[in-house]
Amino acid sequence: MLPERNFSQLEARIGYTFKNQNLLQRVFLHRSALNEHRGENLENNERMEFLGDAVLELISTEYLYNNFKNPEGELTNWRSALVRGQHLAVKAEQLEFGDLMYLSRGEQKSGGKAKQLILANAFEALIGAMYLDGGYDCASKFVHRYIISDLNDILSNNLHLDPKSHLQELTQEKHGITPNYRVLKEEGPDHNKQFVVGAYLGEKQIGEGSGTSKQTAQIAAAANALASQTK
């Protein structure tokens, strides 16, 4: 049996009470936890994350299309910044997802950027669960409140620019060095790989990020490095 979780505080924070509490439980069930609960007919959050990712992208796209006349390329960059895993992980931390996750003992100890990826995926799963439980309007209100509300900040701080190109310009200007990227960790089956990549100036690590491909992990690492470089 999974240990009990008190989801009422989360529901109070997001302003929504789930009719189907099983959906909410599944949001926080990471695949690693299933190894310690074999034979209990449990489903992890990956399929719900898949749904939530699509719902998040649709809501964000709809908002940008309806409110801005910018070219497609610009809107695509804005949307990418909104739905970037690092952004979602920050929101998940603000909502205190960490205490609600069902993780294996090993995964609990790992922490770091792998934990960020787990939180970002759970955030997408929550969007999927809200869509299933309350419909499109319910999910849309949540996305507008927690994700789209950050658009002005993203644009004013140029966070929508391609992080790798932006980091390269910044480091060449400040240090005369082009950043390089190294894979620090990869896990999961071939059809669902997760990569953790470090951004480096010479031998000094300046950022770290994760993603489902080396390219997306590099982008996340560059974004993380930019955040520290511009503080």
CB 107 within 8 A of CB 32: yes
Nearest to 84 by CA among 209, 168, 180, 200: 209
Task: Give the burial class of 176: count Cβ atoms within 10 A of its Cβ; 0-12 exposed, 13-18 middle, 19 or more buried.
Answer: exposed
Distance CA 28, CA 7 (A): 10
Largest pairwise CA distance in the chain:
57
Distance CA 5, CA 213 (A): 32
Beta partners for 181?
199
Supply 25's token pair.
Answer: 């439980």
Active site residue ranges: 53, 124
Residue 6's CB: how many other CB atoms inside 10 A? 9
